[in-house]
Structure 1
């Protein structure tokens, strides 16, 4: 390669740099950069107070007790199919990744013989009430810190109520429905299909 070829390559490189910087400088002259007084497209940012107001609105629908009174056990059984990979429901059934759930409603938390519960579950204590089951099914990791259960949860209140109604049916002596559901709710009052 002779010096003439090298000069052409260097000139092409320098010309490219000159064009790039020239265009950059020219655009700064042509397009004036100035700060806007407000965003052209306002972006709504929820504050912690607004987020908690939204959570309150979510909870203002039918109560768990009223949904339990009208929930379909068949719908709950269909929803529960997601859980069958980890749980059995037969009376005296074996434990899988999760414990057997026969007679879970009203049973003490972390009480299935031969199942190795997380420390969070054993420390929680108490019995599985309807409200506790609802909170656990909504988001297990929020209800029991350090739970081994990897299930993300059921977002819809009606789905959780149907699942709890199904779990309630898995017992020789199902626990009574909450007093509010047993006394005041007419089955035509709440349509679980319209909730969440």
Structure 2
């Protein structure tokens, strides 16, 4: 399921930082440190399964093998349903169900590129 192009026109980074708390047990977006999941600092625009020092699942590596990049559309699809997007992913998070939450988290993640 895709949220479509125009949905990415905005997003509230501050609200996204609040929603990101759901992700914070396994990921950080404020420092280049891997936890249970890889650091998401600068993830928007980064090729899939490429953060240094993280041991990605074979499913995630295969998903990114054709050169996929975590752009807004790809992130939106993944954040909605990680297991449906990447069959066999290690990520146990069920996804964000509200389109506005997804849009806001992406807006927040876009701010982490320069940290």
The question of a shared fold, defined as TM-score above 0.5 by the shorter chain, is answered with yes
What does 1:145-164 align with in structure 2 at a 5 Å threshold?
A: 145-164=87-106
The SS at the match of 1:151 is coil
Contact 1:77-1:163 at 8 Å conserved across structures: yes
- Give the corresponding residue for 1:94: 33
Q: SS at the partner of 1:162?
A: helix
Matched, 1:104 2:43: yes
Write the distance in 1 (CA, Å) between the matches of 2:105 and 2:13. 7
Shift of 1:69: 2.1
Residue equivalent to 1:186? none
Cα separation, 1, equivalents of 2:28 and 2:102: 18
Gaps of 5+ in 2: none
Aligned to 1:28: none
TM-score (norm 1): 0.54
1: CA distance between counterparts of 2:4 and 2:104? 10
Runs of 5+ consecutive residues of structure 1 not aligned to the other structure:
1-54, 174-196
The structure with the larger Rg is 1
Over the aligned positions, Cα root-mean-square deviation in angstroms equals 1.8
Contact 2:8 2:72 in 1 (8 A): no
Relative contact order: is structure 1 or structure 2 higher (C-alpha 8 Å, sep ≥ 6)?
2
Q: Which has the higher helix share?
A: 1
The answer to whether the aligner puts 1:133 opposite 2:75 as a matched pair is: yes
Aligned equivalents of 1:86 and 1:118: distance in 2?
A: 15
Residue correspondence of structure 1 range 117-196 to structure 2 within 5 A: 117-125=56-64, 126-172=68-114
Count of aligned pairs between the two proteins: 112
Deviation per CA, 1:83-111: give whole Å up to 9, x if none: 111001124x2100000001000101000
1:64 offset after TM fit, Å?
4.3
Shift of 1:76: 0.5
Task: Give the alignment's TM-score, normalised by structure 2.
Answer: 0.89
Whole-Å Cα distance in 2 between the matches of residues 112 and 66 of structure 1?
28
Q: Determine the C-alpha separation between the residues in 2 that align with 1:101 and 1:160.
A: 15
